[in-house]
């Protein structure tokens, strides 16, 4: 009568032993790039990468209006004009670096639509790597770092922009994220190089420049001499087009010309101009509205810089993330001529902001909801929520981040007798 009981007990112990062996295997550690991973971390990340790609793959066949209205024609023109020889011509209003990518893709035999989208998808993964590194540097938590990575890959903003819309905003954003990462690592030179790489793709990289200027004022990492790399990188990026015969003046004026394409206060972005009814103003007043809005933006940024400079605050990484998010969001909300996709960078910083402190995740989700609602009128011709209401909601999110930032600064004030600048341990080392 005892035999069956003994057998069942032995089987249970064997099962328990097998489970322990599995646990041991999943918790086995290895090191890559100085970061310690477990097998379970790598396995989950791999599943995340595969499933995130499958989501994007299902969206690949969709032809957005930007593709069949612009990108498709540009690819055709590149082929008709001899591939790389076409770089001597002004085919698009994009900067040369993205045209180099398009030109390389033009030599392929497959679908242009898939090829262009796959470039953006590649940078989706590079961007999630940057967010991983930022969060790991800030928290040393593998779970939070992987959660931030998942936030990027599963973000509706990121998925829609590249895999659905066939846009390339993720490229300049990725370089900005690495610039921010090296800023946190106190490496001014590398931070400036990646900022320059971002600038050569999109003018919107300048949204992060006021933050870096504030950090220079506070003697945190940034050394202005390193930012001489930025114009050098941009000039090198346009050099092939110039050597092939394209007008140098035209190449240097690309961003200036881009800024004059749309005179309206806002192009489908729910900012202050939506509230003012300046989405489609009388063109006779466009210059005045634009000038007033630009001056207002500079003044607001100046107030933030003054407050920060005169505060005896220890600049933690958390404060830096919050300040970057707040300044970028404020710029996009108050600066004229903002497009519907110009809030893209906000969402990526919001992911870092929310994952660092999970109580802020609703704010992160709020920013993403704003982006999705902003995209819909253009992508599917449906105003799910009136733009004015979205603009009010976005203002509320920005004010919350500003109030939270103020609280962080107050909690990190140093002694009255100390310097109003950062402490010595936060001085630039690069």
User: DSSP string spanning 266-312?
Assistant: EEB--SHHHHTT-SS--GGGHHHHHHHHHHHHHHHHHHHHHHHHHS-
Crossing angle for the helix pair 96-106 and 112-139, to the nearest 10 degrees: 130
CB atoms within 10 A of CB 21: 10
CA 392 to each of CA 50, 245, 270, 324, 339: distance values in angstroms, whole numbers, following the listed order: 37, 49, 8, 21, 17
Predicted confidence at residue 423, as pLDDT, reads: 42
CA distance linking residue 311 with residue 308, whole number of Å = 5
Q: CA dihedral defined by 208, 212, 213, 215, rounded to 10 degrees?
A: 140
Question: Is the pTM here over 0.85, yes or no?
Answer: yes
Predicted confidence at residue 1, as pLDDT, reads: 46
pLDDT per 10-residue tile (average), the chain, 430 residues? 57 60 86 90 97 98 94 97 95 94 96 98 98 97 97 98 97 98 98 98 97 97 96 97 94 83 78 79 67 93 97 97 98 93 97 97 97 94 91 98 98 72 44
Q: Which of 342, 348, 330 is nearest to 378 (CA)?
A: 342
Contacts with 357 (C-beta within 8 Å, 6 or more apart), sequence order? 318
Backbone angles phi, psi at 338, to 5 degrees: -80, 135
Q: Which of 422, 203, 395 is nearest to 300 (CA)?
A: 395
Contacts with 150 (C-beta within 8 Å, 6 or more apart), sequence order? 48, 128
Predicted confidence at residue 224, as pLDDT, reads: 94
CA distance linking residue 343 with residue 398, whole number of Å = 12
Place of tokens 């933006």: 297
Q: Which of 325, 337, 203 is nearest to 269 (CA)?
A: 337
CA distance linking residue 376 with residue 25, whole number of Å = 46
Predicted confidence at residue 331, as pLDDT, reads: 98
Backbone angles phi, psi at 267, to 5 degrees: -110, 80
Instruction: Check if the beta carbon of residue 240 is closer than 8 Å to that of residue 364.
Output: no
Predicted confidence at residue 260, as pLDDT, reads: 63
Task: Enter the tokens of residue 87.
Answer: 């770089």
List, in sequence order, every beta strand (DSSP E) within 24-156.
29-32, 35-38
Predicted confidence at residue 257, as pLDDT, reads: 80
3-state secondary structure of 31: strand
Backbone angles phi, psi at 32, to 5 degrees: -130, 125
Contacts with 122 (C-beta within 8 Å, 6 or more apart), sequence order? none
3-state secondary structure of 415: coil
Predicted confidence at residue 427, as pLDDT, reads: 45
């Amino acid at each position: 009568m005892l035999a069956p009981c003994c057998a069942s007990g032995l089987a249970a112990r064997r099962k328990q032993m097998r489970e322990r062996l599995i646990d041991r295997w999943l918790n086995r550690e290895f090191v890559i790039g100085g970061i310690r991973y477990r097998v379970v971390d790598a396995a989950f990340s791999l599943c995340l990468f595969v499933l995130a790609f499958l989501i994007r793959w299902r969206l690949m066949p969709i032809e957005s209006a930007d593709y069949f209205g612009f990108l498709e024609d540009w690819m055709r023109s590149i082929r008709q004009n001899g591939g790389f020889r076409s770089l001597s011509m002004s085919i698009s209003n994009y900067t040369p670096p993205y045209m180099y990518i398009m030109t390389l893709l033009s030599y392929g035999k497959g679908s242009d639509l898939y090829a262009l989208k796959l470039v953006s998808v590649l940078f989706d993964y590079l961007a999630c790597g940057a967010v991983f590194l930022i969060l790991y540097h800030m928290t040393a938590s593998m779970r939070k770092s992987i959660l931030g990575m998942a936030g990027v890959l599963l973000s509706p903003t990121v998925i829609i922009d590249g895999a659905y819309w066939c846009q390339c905003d993720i490229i300049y954003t990725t370089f900005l994220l690495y610039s921010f990462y090296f800023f946190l690592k106190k490496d001014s030179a590398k931070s400036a190089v990646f900022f320059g790489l971002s600038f050569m793709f999109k003018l919107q990289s300048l949204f992060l420049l006021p933050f870096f200027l504030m950090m220079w004022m506070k003697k945190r990492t940034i050394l202005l001499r390193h930012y001489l790399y930025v114009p050098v990188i941009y000039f090198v990026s346009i050099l092939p087009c110039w050597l092939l015969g394209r007008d140098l003046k035209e190449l240097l004026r690309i961003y200036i010309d881009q800024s004059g394409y749309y005179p309206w206060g806002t192009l489908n972005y729910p900012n202050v101009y939506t509230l003012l009814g300046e989405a489609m103003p009388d063109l006779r007043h466009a210059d005045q509205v634009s000038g007033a809005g630009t001056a207002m933006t500079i003044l607001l940024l100046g107030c933030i810089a003054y407050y920060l400079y005169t505060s005896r605050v220890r600049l933690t990484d958390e404060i830096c993330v919050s300040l970057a998010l707040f300044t970028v969001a404020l710029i996009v909300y108050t600066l004229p001529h903002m497009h519907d996709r110009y809030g893209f960078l906000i969402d990526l910083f919001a992911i870092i902001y929310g994952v660092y402190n999970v109580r802020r995740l609703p704010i992160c989700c709020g920013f993403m909801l704003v982006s999705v609602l902003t995209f819909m009128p253009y992508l599917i011709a449906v105003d799910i929520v009136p733009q004015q209401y979205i603009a009010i909601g976005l203002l509320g999110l920005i004010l919350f981040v500003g109030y939270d930032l103020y609280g962080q600064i107050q909690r990190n004030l140093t002694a009255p007798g100390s310097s109003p600048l950062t402490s010595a341990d936060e001085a630039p080392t690069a």
